[in-house]
Structure 1
């Protein structure tokens, strides 16, 4: 059963996602989104950022695009890791910041050589908060909202994600279930039936 990403209204994954969301099975829906690469839930992704769940942010994103897929993807990853790095410095967690610099930001050293050098120098500063030249003022929620505003148009313009951030409005659970049943009846999908005698 193949995915029909050009016409989601006639795709079985569309119906399953609708059923999950209507039934408030959000975790199941997000797992299906990631496994199929069918729908990028921008609101869910932005909520992960607002809550500072950086590992989950990258895990979700990686199911749709990699760091080097294109310019847009590279920028998305870079902006996320940059804020993650700055926030760690802001909390004076220099050892963690060094780890982020080496493992997460090293991939951008060539394309952002000057900025990478400046970020490296920040590790030598005892009190990051006193550096007025760093555009990182405000509380964590405000900073993360700014990041979201930067990322949203880049995500929506990313050729490997474009068109997957919106789906038709969800219908009620019963109506969606009926449409899914109709799809099964019209398709060549044949469920495996049991030959065992019912225990009743």
Structure 2
């Protein structure tokens, strides 16, 4: 793919196909472009036992011999297909699968192949639906660990009707640059640029000249009020972050009168909030951390709580004795900071008990990596991209700053030099110079050079 803008365009087209109900076309675009492996679609095919379709979809992203993870996925699928043929007593079909589809795995594990062949002579009683559900987690783990799917599992959050929004913006821009703007222009096609000189028929509907002015409707029950571009009536879209009422084109927004003063929503969190962060792409998603160690993801337009997790240690065996003792003596752990990654597919949580939790979020919340980062409190966290890899910077009560690989949780660097607890870190970049500032509770600020 030539550029990130091409990738963004494909995701916008994919969203349009989904919104318009062209499901098969959307799946075909996913296969041919390889931009997104739709795990939900894959799970649905597995649950239905549509094995030929399962393999066809997989082949859009990987081949059987690409690596050991791909081989494991194809083996599990063909084995299940074979066993279900035996369950149906379709011996002819089972033999065909054994000889044509499973034979390729015999050279690596001939004993297993012989054991599977022996099943033809036994009464094998199983429940196919239960077995399919059981194998889904195994398949998902192999796919998520597979380098071939590395970029295809990350679907960016795209604002609703993004293609229509871009078309509206383009039409507004075109009409704004017409030499003789028609007060009632019409649009006959999107295949060529709009020209008022060529469209003088009355009665057509089109967009008004481009403007930053917005009108705010009355709040809808259960959500934020939609911000609609004033006068848009033929291509409805939601514009979520443009400007506020009474702000004309080119006008500064410095006046306090331009800022909305009316409270449109109150959320009942249930405990004291310690940290919040908005999703960098899907701007209505709010991540919240509380004083009792809870994290919550809110969808603000609908006031829906999408996910909630309480504090817990994911792997007790990996924890040091000092941390286990601290948790026994004073169990509650508060959230000091929550932070989305630059693309919004990952977020991190810093706790007062020395732990950092890394979650992935692709519409559903999943545990990724647990890091015992500092002795005592983890006071702040930040993300930093270096050499095309995402890193997490943490600072803590132990006067240290550390840098971690966000994918694996592996510690890469430890920075010393502060004489008291480090309370904040702030990455920055000027040209090719990568560095970050850190500040301690004694007021001293230090600068660490990362890359030049």
Task: Identify the match of residue 92 of structure 1 among 89, 93, 104.
Answer: 89
The CA RMSD measured in Å over matched residues stands at 2.8
1:6-25 alignment runs, 5 A limit: 7=4, 11-25=8-22
Separation in structure 2 between the aligned mates of residue 20 and residue 180 of structure 1, nearest angstrom: 16
Query: Whose strand fraction is larger, Structure 1's or Structure 2's?
Result: 2
Residues 37, 153 of structure 2: 8 Å contact kept: yes
Tell whether the 8 Å contact from 1:76 to 1:154 is kept in structure 2 after alignment.
yes
Deviations 1:28-85 (A, max 9, x none): 1101001111111011011001001011000000111010000000000000001111
> In 2, distance between residues paired with 1:165 and 1:92?
37
Tell me how far 1:182 sits from its aligned partner.
Answer: 6.2
Question: 1:162 Cα deviation (Å)?
Answer: 1.8
With normalisation by structure 1, the TM-score equals 0.79
Q: CA deviation at 1:147?
A: 1.0
Find the aligned partners of 1:155 and 1:180 in 2 and give their Cα distance.
36
Aligned equivalent of 2:141: 153
More helix per residue: 1 or 2?
Answer: 1
Map 1:3-82 to 2 at 5 A. 3-4=2-3, 7=4, 11-82=8-79
Normalization by structure 2: what TM-score?
Answer: 0.36
Structure 2: which 5+ residue stretches go unaligned?
A: 174-189, 193-452
Aligned to 1:168: 156
Shift of 1:128: 2.1
Q: Whole-Å Cα distance in 1 between the matches of residues 82 and 2 of structure 2?
A: 38
On the 8 A contact 2:70/2:146 being kept in 1, the answer is yes
Q: CA deviation at 1:179?
A: 3.5
Query: Deviation digits for residues 136-188 of structure 1, max 9, x if unmatched?
Result: x4x22211011111110110111011231231234322x442247769x9xxx
Q: Contact 1:72–1:157 at 8 Å: present in 2 too?
A: yes
Q: What is the CA–CA distance in structure 1 between the aligned matches of 2:167 and 2:76, rounded to whole Å?
A: 40
Q: Distance in 1 between matches of 2:67 and 2:116?
A: 24
Mapping for residues 93-132 of structure 1, pairs under 5 Å: 93-125=90-122, 127-129=123-125
Alignment partners' CA distance in 2, 1:182 and 1:68: 46
SS of residue paired to 2:147: coil
Stretches of structure 1 lacking an aligned partner (at least 5 in a row): 130-136, 186-190, 194-200
CA displacement, residues 6-33 of structure 1 (integer Å, 9 cap, x when unaligned): x479621111111112223211110100
**Structure of greater Rg:** 2
Higher relative contact order (CA 8 A, sep 6+): 1
Cα distance in 1 between the residues matched to 2:156 and 2:95: 44
